[in-house]
Structure 1
Amino acid sequence: MVIVLWDGEATARDGRPYRNTYTWYFRMKDDQVIEAIAFLDMSKFTELWTRVSHS
């Protein structure tokens, strides 16, 4: 199992910042990913999606 915790930051298409924290879990077998699960703050993502899908 490989666990990655990271903070992402970018400028969205509307010119405003987007920041979120992610945790990705990778189950490995023979040096290959066989399962991946990701967690993030969906309220921040939904707010971003709502902003940029209408611009």
Structure 2
Amino acid sequence: MAVPKRKMSRSNTRHRRSQWKAAVPNLVSCESCQAPKLQHIACPSCGTYNRRQVLDV
């Protein structure tokens, strides 16, 4: 198992971690009710997915 030989400085650690950030969720509009929803997930407001009713809302 790889182990660091020297302690990494605070500036190097923070510089590396500065690029580590959460991604903004990609929202699309539902095809039936036009509400914003996540891609590839059933619509939470109307319960449709791929033009089919899959959830009882």
Structure 1 and Structure 2 fold alike (TM over 0.5): no
TM-score, normalised to structure 1, is 0.23
TM-score, normalised to structure 2, is 0.23
Higher relative contact order (CA 8 A, sep 6+): 1
| Greater strand fraction, Structure 1 or Structure 2 | 1
The structure with more radius of gyration: 2
| Greater helix fraction, Structure 1 or Structure 2 | 1
